[in-house]
Amino acid sequence: MLTRTCLGGGAAAALSSLSPSIRRCSLLFPSVQQTLLLPFSPRLASYRISPSPRRFSASAAVATEEEHKAAVAVKPPQWKAAIDFKWIRDNKDVVAANITNRNSNANLELVLDLYEKFLNLQKEVERLRAERNAVASKMKGKLEPSVRQALVEEGKNLKEGLVALEEDLVQLSDQLQLEAQCIPNSTHPDVPVGGEESSVARKMVGNPKEFGFDVKDHLQLGKDLDLFDFDAAAEVSGSKFYYLKNEAVLLEMALVNWAIAQVSKRGFTPLITPEIVRSSVVEKCGFQPRGQNTQVYSIQGSDQCLIGTAEIPVGGIHMDSILSESDLPLKYVAYSHCFRTEAGAAGAATRGMYRVHQFSKVEMFVFCRPEDSDSYHEELIAIEEELFSSLGLHFKTLDMATGDLGAPAYRKFDVEAWMPGLGRYGEISSASNCTDYQSRRLGIRFHPTPPEGVQNPKKGKGAGSAPTRFVHTLNATACAVPRMLVCLLENFQQENGSVVIPDVLRPYMGGLDVISPK
């Protein structure tokens, strides 16, 4: 599982480290695409605007040197999500409970406070604009020179004050956006509340295989059958890398081709995706590319990252697009290599092929109408269960608890298969409904089709048409190759040291039915 964390919480931490006077200032997020050190602005500290606009030019405050040094350099958001701040404010109790249940570090009180200040400042800006326009209208007629000069002076002061407050409004909007991006998606009402141990089994398929001999784990089997080499890969690349050899290469290719063929039959369009993407796309999908303990490999000196899952490039394929309702659903099955730092992963439970830095994976992804996402979630998990059943695996499907949900997931089902060599169940796939969390960040909408028989009496582009809506996105794993190799080797091992190939994979392995000792 690729960890997803808050994108904007650093702003709160930075604010908390400042003096009380500077914490009230929102000029920590410059409106240019580089990091700046900005002085303290008393204007934004209270938003108390003088009734007389003439005082703006005379009351500009200058920060002390100490305050200037105390200011922290924070980058403004490179992109903005279409967050419904009014809904958050009107449903703050629900949002607060959701944040707690999901163990999120989002600061709802700060978001609400910033939103209130933003609304107040926005009203003040609109008031000054109206006053500026009124002054401009007065100057159109014939006026006494003294009256005209007074209006010119008044207009100048209004302009200066308006420019200053508009800058403050941009800064405040940036800070609000960064903090609000930390708020996770809402949660399906049937999701169990609690940590991973509170997850509920939805389905149990098959039974653990019984062996009349001492079973080996996949590491020992791989060594005996000469299927992979971790030692050489460690010398070449580092720990948690591997070489696949001999029949293991054929088995990986078979799994990939089999998974794509099976899923394509169900109306999914096959894709091979880019494996390097922009950091902003990674963020929009709900992952943090440069945070502490990130799972994402970033390319130094660039704004690009290696993907940890094909979910990211597939999610971005329709970025900043408005689709037609008739085009939905859009269903993709994507093959890619995946790269993960696996920060913090250690211990016997992660050894061998179970947790590695680079692997191949086949991913399913759906763009659909909001009212259809629950049904497509059930379709995705049904496909996963059918695939794994056809391989002859024993597994269980879990409805994951709130504490195990990443920020984008509204609901997530995990599949855990029995791995006899490891002596436990291990996650082999997941299926998540992300509702509009990702589409609001990626800018993916659709035009609803007008009801049949309804004519548009208005003319012009978009006249009388229903407003666009955000699509819902879903993702699910069809085949994560290393975990499948673990399952197949350990579950289909024979007493003579060989491994039987499941029937459904044999056509993709040139008819090979057994991997035998050399």
Task: Determine whether 424 is an active site residue.
Answer: no
Residue 109 among known ligand-binding residues: no
Give the number of other Cβ atoms within 10 Å of residue 186's Cβ.
16
Residue 275 among known ligand-binding residues: no
Residue 495 among known ligand-binding residues: no
H helix runs in 423-478, sequence order: 437-442
CA-to-CA distance for 507 and 118, rounded, in angstroms?
Answer: 62
Catalytic residue among 4, 340, 411, 441: 340
Catalytic residue among 199, 430, 432, 439: 430
**What is each CA distance from 477 to 77, 260, 263, 484, in whole angstroms?**
31, 11, 11, 11
CA-to-CA distance for 469 and 323, rounded, in angstroms?
Answer: 10
- Write down how long the chain is: 518
Task: Determine whether 441 is an active site residue.
Answer: no
Residue 99 among known ligand-binding residues: no
Residue 397 among known ligand-binding residues: no
Residue 432 neighbours by CB under 8 Å, 6+ apart: 377, 406, 408, 409, 410, 411, 412, 413, 474, 475, 476
Token pair 């259809």: residue: 372
Find residue 200's DSSP bridge partners.
Answer: 399
Indicate the SS3 state at residue 296: coil
Residue 198 among known ligand-binding residues: no
In terms of C-beta density within 10 A (0-12 exposed, 13-18 middle, 19 or more buried), how is residue 387 classed?
Answer: buried
Q: Angle formed by the axes of helices 92-101 and 108-138, to 10°?
A: 140
DSSP state at residue 297: P
* 482: preceding bond cis by omega (within 30 degrees): no
Task: Determine whether 252 is an active site residue.
Answer: no
Residue 33 neighbours by CB under 8 Å, 6+ apart: 76, 78
Catalytic residue among 132, 278, 440, 483: 483
Residue 358 among known ligand-binding residues: yes
Residue 363 among known ligand-binding residues: yes
CA-to-CA distance for 330 and 386, rounded, in angstroms?
Answer: 21
Residue 116 among known ligand-binding residues: no
Task: Determine whether 4 is an active site residue.
Answer: no
Catalytic residue among 131, 198, 427, 498: 427
Residue 235 among known ligand-binding residues: no
Residue 359 among known ligand-binding residues: yes
Residue 67 among known ligand-binding residues: no
Strands 304-306 and 276-278, sheet pairing: antiparallel
Task: Determine whether 266 is an active site residue.
Answer: no
Residue 476 neighbours by CB under 8 Å, 6+ apart: 363, 364, 365, 380, 381, 383, 384, 429, 430, 431, 432
Residue 260 among known ligand-binding residues: no
Decide if 402 contacts 193 (C-beta within 8 A). yes
DSSP state at residue 325: G
Strand boundaries in 356-433, DSSP class E: 358-368, 395-399, 411-419, 424-433
Catalytic residue among 4, 132, 278, 355: 355
In terms of C-beta density within 10 A (0-12 exposed, 13-18 middle, 19 or more buried), how is residue 459 classed?
Answer: exposed
Residue 100 among known ligand-binding residues: no
- Residues at the binding site for ATP are 340-342, 356-359, 427-430
- Residues at the binding site for L-serine are 309, 340, 363, 475
Q: Would you please indicate which residues are annotated as catalytic (active-site) residues?
A: 340, 355, 427, 430, 483
